[in-house]
Structures are given as structure tokens and as C-alpha cells.
Chains A and B, each alone.
Chain A
């Protein structure tokens, strides 16, 4: 999926691009300018709507610069504090006793810019196109809860329904193994276990399975990740991944 920026008209696609001279990239709320400043040096300049500027020089071995623009996990803005994501479903899902359902929900993402060279991908920059919705939330009590990246999540119809550069779609398999009906209104899971895939300007995330079940005497919502079966391109990982303990959610 390699193409030059001149072939890409409105930069509304994720993917690998080769820059020979100077190019501007326009994304929602973000403007990126990449400019050749000498034979083997490019400058990278990103500006957001509040005129915050991030600038870097990129020396290259050849006379071109290859970058990859891809979705990354929503863990870096405003600061890296957690590996967990708290999806607050806009409509709670009611599961009667022994039933199961599959839904598609939107999950926020951030954008990563990677330098591609010698088959390696180095992280150059990251940003969010929707800073106002990129917030923290606490699952549990202030003294013992889990800090999460919080997002209101809309339920959508399919993997195609993500908003370009703002969110990705996540398949959630819900299952109720309890002997009574329950509503599920939120899902909390460590997103560092999930990979992100992209195609054109759409993105999807590895699915999660949430099972309502009994653990000893407690009713819990057991949430775990499952790799997505897809032919979409696997996005590179921005942050260093460390194993995170899975958490049992309580049932409301």
C-alpha cells in the first residue's frame, strides 16, 4: 500500500507514504507540514487548532522520507497514565438469563506517525484529532479504583462505521451465564492487549468478550480480548507494551 503524497489527494487514508519533497497533511483539527530542508534532511511540523506546534528534524539515508500514518491505542493524550479503557455505552444492553449478543461499539484512537526505514518502524510523533473527548475516568472507588481512559461509546452497525482519525470500531461479544437478567452499560479492559487494524481511513480494534458470571459468591463481568480475524493492515505499536493484569468488573 505504498503511494506518494502527490497521489493522495486529501490525506484521508492511513498507510505508508513516500515523500520526496514537501507535503502538507490535513487531518481533523491537525495540520502536518513535512518539508525537505537539505539533501538528506526533512523537517516535520505539526500544528493543532490551538496553535500548539511540535517540530522535529529528520535526517534520512536517502533522498526520500517514508512514513506510516496509522491509528494507535488511545493511551497517550493528555499523558500516559494507564493501560485501561472505560467505554461508557450510550445505550445499556440488557441480557436475559443465559443469552448472548454481539455489538459493535466505537472506541477512541490516537494517531501515530512512524518513520519507515530498513523494514523498521520508529515512532516519530503521536496526537489526537479529538482532544476534547480524550479524558480520564475512574472505575471503582477513589482509594482503590482503576484509572482509565474514558469515552462515551456509541453502538454502531458494523466495522465500517468508525469516524476517520477519531475512533475505531470494536466488536464486543456479550454473554450472560448468570441465572438472572442484567444490563451492561460499561466495559473496562486493558487496551494494551488489543491490536488495531486499518483500511483506508477506517480502523478496528481486536474484539473483547464480556461474560457475566459468578466467581465464588460474587457476580462479575469478566472481560477479555480476542484477536480480530481480518485482512485489514495491522497498525504498528506506538508505546512499549507491558503485560497488564486483567480486571474483574463488578455487576451493577
Chain B
């Protein structure tokens, strides 16, 4: 009964070389291929991916999944005897048209491949794209785009091509970072005394500031109303928010406690005699 049914399917021709039965077998091959690809990807994600870097694991999982599906498709075409040469000829003409239409897509794809090979930054790194004023945590590098979670919590998608050709500043690839701030003191004040009180306050209240390299103090400018002191401190790369935004506050507190004047711009106006 079943054999007869299959035979009847074999007799129904869709095209010259394609019968309904071979299409059914092909469908089964594709379904098995997809299920197999999913199982293999699941096993890989569960057992092997945790041992690999996140982005490598993600890309390998994609490669395995689509590799098995492509393999299944090739088995499907060879088992059904499907002749794709016609498609290839048509594809040549369409290829040119599609090539023009999808220029940016292909460009993003190629850039994505180069980003995966070069690995200028990795998933989880804090980065900044100085030219485009984008900074945040790199979420992933996918086939066509890069996703970055900005420090305000929003997520921004940057096309791979634009990311690949941008200057990328990595904020977490070194063990430590430096933060700086500029504070002005009045001309009448003792510079060494001011530096000493700021340094003491930094050591006392900023637990993330490194003892080595020591905080550095430079006279940045003899400005109109003040002598500007530049404060440079090092801290662990993860702890910018514990140091950068607080540095000026600590410096002001130290100067206020020591009674050192932080001047504001002053202008002397001479009135001409009438």
C-alpha cells in the first residue's frame, strides 16, 4: 500500500527531472539537516562554548549551524538531481544587479569578517569611537553590525563598515587608566602647599587611586585669574566612575579645608574721565 503510494508520487513530475517523491525526500533531508544543525549547535553552546571567548563561540556556533544546513542543501540537490545550472546563468545577471543594490550589505559583511579576524576589541570591552562620539560596552560583533550599549543604558547599532573604518579607543585593554582634572588657585597662594593638601586628600578619601604610579601634579596654565593645576591620577580600568567624576570634588574639598582660594574671573573696569 505504502509502496504503491510512493510509486504514485514518483510518477508525478513537477519538472523534467524532479518528481514529487524526490521533492519529498529532499524535504526530509532538509528537515533532518536543520534538526541536526540545531542539536549540534545546542551541544556546542552547552559544552564547548563556555571554554571559548564569547565572540569566538558565537561565530563558531553560527558557522556550524549554517555549515550543516548548506551541507544538507547540497545533499538535497544531488539526491533529487535538481539542475541548478539554469539558476547559475540567471544568477550571473541577477548577481550584477544585486551586487550594485547590496553594495553596502556586502561591504558590512566583509568588514564583519575582517573584524572577527583582526579582533581590535572583544565582547564586553568598554570602547569609544572618538570621531562619532559613541562610547559604551561592546555587546557583540555580528554579520552586518556591531551593537554597543552606551553608558546611558541605550543600545546603538553601528554598521560593521563604519566601525571597521573608525578610530576605536579601548577603555579596558590595559590594567589601569588615568583620569585628570584641572583646578585653579589664586596667584597669592603657595603652589606647593596647595598640591600637598590635594595629594593628602586624594590618598585619604579616594581608595581607588593607585599609590604607584603616584598622583601627578602639573602647572597647566598661568591663566587670567588663577594658576591652573592639572591633577593626574591612575586607577584600575573598571573604576573610572569612582575616580573621574569625584576628582574635582575632592580637590575643592581639600582647598576649602586649607583655606586656599579658588578664584573666579575678575575684571577691573577703568572709567574714562568725562
Contacts and interface: CB of A to CB of B under 8 A. Distances in A.
Nearest to B175: A147
Interface in B128-184: 174-176, 178
Contacts of A86: 212
A45 to B, nearest CB: 22
A135 B209 contact: yes
B211 interface: yes
Contacts of A147: 175-176, 236
A88 B212 CA distance: 10
Given A79-B239, A81-B238, A132-B204, A142 B178 contact: yes
Contacts of B235: 136
Nearest to A77: B207
B208 A78 contact: yes
B203 interface: yes
B234 interface: yes
Nearest to B237: A147
Given A143-B174, A147-B175, A147-B176, A137 B210 contact: yes
Contact of B210 (A144, A146, A150): A150
B178 A136 contact: no
Given A81-B236, A132-B203, A150 B211 contact: yes
Contacts of B236: 79, 81, 136, 147
A136 B238 contact: no
Interface in B220-235: 234-235
Interface string A75-86: 001110100001
Nearest to A148: B212
A78 B205 CA distance: 11
Contacts of B234: 138, 142
A147 B239 CA distance: 13
Contacts of A81: 236, 238-239
Contacts of A146: 175
A196 B166 CA distance: 50
B86 interface: no
A88 to B, nearest CB: 8
A134 interface: yes
B208 A136 contact: yes
A135 B175 contact: no
Interface in A106-150: 131-132, 134-139, 142-147, 150
Contacts of A143: 174
Interface string B187-211: 0000000000000000110011111
Contacts of B265: none
Nearest to A150: B211
A144 B173 CA distance: 9
A129 B201 CA distance: 19
Nearest to A151: B211
A14 B212 CA distance: 32
Interface in A75-105: 77-79, 81, 86, 88
B176 A145 contact: yes
B53 interface: no
Among A77, A79, A138, A150, max chain B CB count under 10 A is at A138
Contacts of A78: 207-208, 242
Contacts of A145: 175-176
B213 A138 contact: yes
Contacts of B238: 79, 81
A12 B239 CA distance: 35
A138 B207 contact: no
A211 B99 CA distance: 65
A26 to B, nearest CB: 23
A81 B210 CA distance: 12
Nearest to A139: B212
B176 A142 contact: yes
B211 A137 contact: yes
A150 B236 CA distance: 13
5 contacts: A79-B236, A135-B211, A137-B211, A137-B212, A138-B213
Interface of A: 77-79, 81, 86, 88, 131-132, 134-139, 142-147, 150
CB-based closest 5 A-B pairs: A78-B207, A137-B212, A147-B175, A150-B211, A137-B211
Given A138-B210, A144-B175, 4 more contacts: A138-B176, A138-B213, A145-B175, A150-B211
